[in-house]
Amino acid sequence: MELLTPKYLSTYTKRQRLTLEKHLARLARKGARAGDATRWATLAGAVASSQIEGSRVTVDEFVEATSNGKRRTRDVQEVEDLVRAYGDAQRTALTKANLLKAHATLASTIYSKKGWTPGAWRTGAVYVVGSNLLGRYKIYEGPPAADVPKLMDRLMREVSVLNKATLTPTEAFYYAALLHLQFVKIHPFNDGNGRAGRLLEKWFLAKHVGPAAWLVNSELYYRNHLQQYYDALRRLGPDWSDIAMDECVPFLLLLPKGLRQK
């Protein structure tokens, strides 16, 4: 296990303070009481994940826009695509083929005016950029496009190995967050990597802790603590070729906090 390494699990376990079993049991009871709890959590998660990427659509605005029969704005269509991708993930196994299908769904509108093919690995360089009064600057550069297929093959092989194992809740949260992290650092698509990474995290988690995973408000926590989310990503450095994985634990510790996010 090279990408989904257990190397940091001991440190993570010492620093992760929440009683995961208790919170998961609470969410499971919530799901049992309210039959539409997963649907609403999925909608809220898709909206929050889209807002992280710059969308201004709120949950109320999305519900109104998709209920009145009027033409959807582009922002609403992007959220709608993501909601469908979450729904597909909730009904299918986490495999490379299904991940590519999920991206094809969630990036349908995002890619529609860019000439890219959703659900296909990128074929060019990718950069994450920021901006300030002095202009734009590079935050992160992913691996060369030629390396993406083999990196994603390796990552998904390791997912397959873990999915055949019985993980404790602590292990499940650790590996789900590490999968999210490695995925966004590989940055395998031209666009939609953030949305796909946050979906992938829950998809893996649900395999190991059950459907209560879909009720974890991780996307909402990341949105509400966006600077902390980005700072934790940046701790690993600006370049895949010199990534500082020893700095990964602060990022991994964010996912459990979604259990307490209202």
* pLDDT one-digit tens code per residue, 109-130: 998 878 788 999 999 988 887 6
- Report pLDDT digits (tens) over 123-167: 998 888 765 545 566 778 999 999 999 999 999 999 999 999 999
Q: Are 85 and 256 in contact (CB under 8 A)?
A: no
First to last CA, the chain: 35
| pTM of the complete model | 0.94
pLDDT number for residue 216: 96
pLDDT number for residue 69: 72
Determine the topology of domain 9-257 in CATH.
Fic-like fold (1.10.3290)
pLDDT number for residue 21: 95
Angstrom CA distances, 255 to 47, 178, 221, stand at 17, 10, 8
pLDDT number for residue 59: 92
Low-confidence ranges of the chain (pLDDT < 50): 133
